[in-house]
Structure 1
Amino acid sequence: MIELIDPISKQRLEESPEGLRNENGIVVYPLINGAYRVAASDNYTSNFGLEWNTFQKTQIDKFSGNTVSEERLFAQTNWQKNGLEGETILEVGSGAGRFSQIMLDHTKATLYSVDYSEAVEANYRNNGPHERFKLFQASIYELPFKQASFDRVICLGVLQHTPDFKASVKALVEMVKPGGELVIDFYPIRNVFTKVHGKYLLRPILKRVNHHRLMSLIRNNIDFLISIYTFNRRIGLGVFNRFVPICEIERTLPKGMTPEQLKEWIILDTFDMFSPEYDQPQRLSTVAKWVKEFGMADVDASWVTYHGKLEAPTVRGRKV
């Protein structure tokens, strides 16, 4: 069992049907809709709460009919399927639970899953209740666990959206027990042109638009944007698609989806481009350096390929 610690008072916490109780028996963090609420929902991740409760099943393999999340998880971690019996995994930034589902269905580990947003509700609807699944709404900087407790800590698709990327990496490393493993990925800086992109040109404006209004704006214009994107590709001017306010369809989305699934995924990823408060891509070498600085050894930093041609910059390491 993982020892639960109040990130504010540092007192030990105990689980109960009502929530997490402190040493005086008082419920300090309630259990609401399947998740222990260690953080208030009014924070910089409100867009993700809307995003994942709107697109609750879009990226979940067992609902979508594809295996892209399963392929990605095992390519990035090199974990053995149906293994990890008796181990504990901390997943930070779980969203609607696309990787939670894979870890619950294809490993034997106990999963402690955290998200700072109300996406925890979508995750619980997708994956709970489950005897090996514990769900928390908490900040990466105020995790309710004793440090150096977990056999494995994983954080995929999240770090670039935190206020302080380096401090976030440190917070994750602190949760890994000696000999344990860390696996992270993030949005990369590929070259000097990474931020010469419609995403970064429009984000300062669009991230301030009401999230419901932004979602409607994208939905109402998505067919037009897809037609521009497709036309540019057809006439050999795909290079200009970096300035079209739509996600990169060719490089980032899985193959084999129905037209309806593809459109839904494009709306999701386009909203994900413009709505976050923070979007801070990093160089692979920089993140690897930070991971080593905070006490990880045997660090491997590489581009991992999965689902044919999709790529993810991944850093793995073991706690000294």
Structure 2
Amino acid sequence: MPTTLPPLALTLGDPAGIGPELACAAWLERGAAQLAPFFVVGSISVLAGAARTRGWDLPLLAIGEPADAAGCFGDVLPVLDIAGLDYAPGAPSKAGAELAFQSLEIAAGLVRGGAASALVTAPVAKSELAAVGFSHPGQTEYVAERCGIAAHNAVMMLAGPSLRVVPITVHAALAEVPRLLTAELIRARTAIAAAALVRDFGIERPRIAVAGLNPHAGENGRFGREEIDTIAPAVAQLRAEGIDASGPLAADGMFHAEARAHYDLAVCMYHDQALIPLKALDFDHGVNVTLGLPIVRTSPDHGTAFAIAGTGRARVGPTLAAIRMAGDCAARRAAA
């Protein structure tokens, strides 16, 4: 990432979860992981407590503005200190949820305004946020709204070293998926993903494999007509628009090594169809990327993990991957 770009903004996440200690761990790994400069929007007291719990003598510095982070990042972890709070791992609270919400709000605004080059969001607990007035289904929808993008035009992609996947439907009951799937939804979300692969990932002509919904991709209507009536027309429209899409394909044959060599992105019809193979292949390196936004936004592909916060068991791999991917995508946008 060019040093002339603004630093990345990393949110604190829920301060009772594993976000604070992973932010500290990421800074400690900054050189080996070749991370772009970043700063944390949150609380020095929480970060200091998280570092002490892990036995780290971590230098922290309160900064006045994001531009201050680049010059000191090599020596200290820069923090935009917005609130004092005691570190209480595994014990979520109203004050902690308010801090998580405030961290997200400020960080998103800084990136939207150009003071930071990308947004990396640490995990939050949706139920805790809801209790303090957060009305969105998740951070993705909130960030999309802050960017002036309709939630349905913000596409979730999960990416790891071995696989990239986009689920067309996300947090929906499996019984509702056939009703929610439409040819236009599949076409629109796949087109957004294809454009993002070009812009943010430098793939000149992305190859996209589109999964079927039913076993054996419906087997010519024997096991359901969604492939015939909905998915195949969407694929045909994508191809007519110049997108290299293929399918519908039988999902059970899409994710072995030889099959993955023939596409850059797998478009799946529902949440688990996408996330099971991604987590099986790249559990410690999975990144949640929001496509279709005017800003770069990534997040490690895991939750708050309250049960292991402060125990030293949280692994920093996904956070490192999310920060690295945010920096890479921001650099590609700046170079375009």
Q: With CA pairs under 8 Å and 6+ residues apart, which has the higher RCO, 1 or 2?
A: 2
TM-score category of the 2 structures, normalised to the smaller one: under 0.3
Greater fraction strand: 1
Greater fraction helix: 2
